[in-house]
Amino acid sequence: MKLSGAEIIWECLIREGVDVVFGYPGGAILPTYDALNKYTDRIHHVLVRHEQGATHMADGYARASGRVGVAIATSGPGATNMVTGLATAMMDSTPMVCITGQVPLNAIGTDAFQETDVTGCTLPVTKHNYLVTDIHELAYTIREAFHIARTGRPGPVLVDIPKDVQNQVIDFIYPEGPIELPGYQPPKEAHEADLVAALELIKAAQKPIILAGHGVTMSGAEKELRDFAEITQTPIALTILGKGAIDEKHPLVIGMMGMHGEAAANQAIQEADLLIALGMRFDDRVTGNTKSYSPNSRKIHVEIDPSEINKNIQVDVGINGDLATVLRQLNPRLKSLEHKAWFRQIMDWKEDTNMRDIVQNSLPDGKLWAPHVIADIWKFTGGEAVTSTDVGQHQMWEAQYYPHARPRTLLTSGGLGTMGFGFPAAIGAKFAMPEEEVWAIVGDGGFQMTLCELATAKQENININIAIINNAYLGMVRQWQQMFYNERYIATPMVNPDFVLLAEAYGIPARRITTREEIEGAVEWARSINGPALLEFVVEQHDIVYPMVPAGADLHDMIRRPTDLVSQDWDNPNAV
Nearest to 461 by CA among 524, 394, 505, 506: 506
Distance of CA 275 to the CA centre of its chain: 24
What does the alpha-carbon distance between residue 29 and residue 45 come to, in Å, rounded to a whole number? 14
**Active-site residue, from 113, 185, 520, 541:** 113
Biggest alpha carbon distance in the chain?
Answer: 76
Three-state DSSP state, 49: coil
- Catalytic residue from among 7, 11, 16, 51: 51
Please tell me whether residue 386 adopts helix, strand or coil conformation: strand
- Choice among 256, 396, 476, 548 that is catalytic: 476
Active site residue 433: no
Say whether 280 is catalytic: no
Beta-strand pair 317-320/386-389: unpaired
Verify whether residue 482 is a known catalytic residue: no
Residues 37-40: contacts with CB under 8 Å, at least 24 apart: 38/7, 38/10, 39/10, 39/14
Based on the residue annotation, tell me whether 102 is a catalytic residue of this protein. Answer: no
Active site residue 203: no
Given the residues 127, 163, 243, 430, the one annotated as active site: 163
Q: In what order do the strands lie in the sheet with 510-513?
A: 410-411, 386-389, 438-443, 465-470, 533-538, 510-513
Among the listed residues 17, 30, 42, 9, the one whose alpha carbon sits nearest the alpha carbon of residue 140: 9
**Region of residue 499 (left: phi > 0; alpha: psi -120 to 50; beta: else):** alpha
CA distance 177 to 76: 35
Please confirm whether the linkage preceding 547 is cis (ω < 30° from 0). yes
CB contact at 8 A, 327 and 318: no
Please give the Cα distance from 540 to 565 (Å, whole number): 20
Residues 206 and 346: their CA atoms lie apart, in Å, by: 13
Active site residues: 51, 113-114, 163, 476
